[in-house]
Amino acid sequence: MKMSGGVEWAVHCCVVLSQADRPVPTARLAEFHGVSRTYLAKNLQQLSRAGLVRATEGRVGGYELTRGSGEITVLQIVMAIEGEDPAFQCTEVRQRGPLAVPEEACLRPCGIARVMAAAEDAWRDSLASVTIADLAKRLDVETAGSALESMRGWLGGR
């Protein structure tokens, strides 16, 4: 079970966008992260489709967050890239074989599916408890202010 590498890029991009005071072109985000523009473009489009960023056109065209960074959670970004489906898909094994439970008797999800769903909920709750603003703030504290300052300086210098 592997998370797409795009999630990592997407979260990093959102942290950078949270420090920008104007839209940041894809090429500039790609340059900042030392990665190909094509690769990043796909992830940014997925973030855009999920309504987390929006593309602006014109001379200062680029991407910007659609709302405050305190209102964008890591879970939202993961879902934007990975999709909303839970990792475990119950195929109703209990309804098979010689002791099959009739479908009409399956009023609740299978006990195994419930255990998997509870674990998925715990994972989602954990990711939903952290916003982009939290990530930026932690980075700020851990680098005594230097990381975000450098980031804003670099973003401003174009």
Nearest approach, Cβ of 134 to a second copy (angstroms)? 8
Nearest approach, Cβ of 105 to a second copy (angstroms)? 9
Element (H, E) at 140: helix 132-142
How far is it, in rounded angstroms, from Cα 72 to Cα 92?
35
Q: Which is nearer to a second copy, 57 or 125 (CB)?
A: 125
Residue 90 touches a second copy, criterion: CB under 8 A: yes
Question: Which stretches of the chain are assigned E, i.e. beta strand?
Answer: 53-56, 62-65
Nearest approach, Cβ of 121 to a second copy (angstroms)? 8
Selected range binding a second copy among 18-26, 48-56, 58-66, 106-114, rule: CB under 8 A: 106-114
The alpha carbons of the chain give a radius of gyration, in whole angstroms, of 20
Nearest approach, Cβ of 22 to a second copy (angstroms)? 19
Q: Token digits for 12?
A: 């990093």
* Distance of alpha carbon 151 from the chain centroid: 21
Q: Token digits for 44?
A: 């940014």
Selected range binding a second copy among 11-19, 48-56, 60-68, rule: CB under 8 A: 11-19
Q: Which is nearer to a second copy, 57 or 122 (CB)?
A: 122
Facing residues of 56 across strands?
A: 62
**66, 63, 70: which is closest to 131 by C-alpha?**
70
Q: Which is nearer to a second copy, 55 or 147 (CB)?
A: 147
How far is it, in rounded angstroms, from Cα 113 to Cα 93?
10
Q: Which is nearer to a second copy, 57 or 84 (CB)?
A: 84
Convert residues 114-133 into a mask of x (bound to a second copy by CB under 8 A) and - (unbound): -xx-xxxxxxxxxx--x---
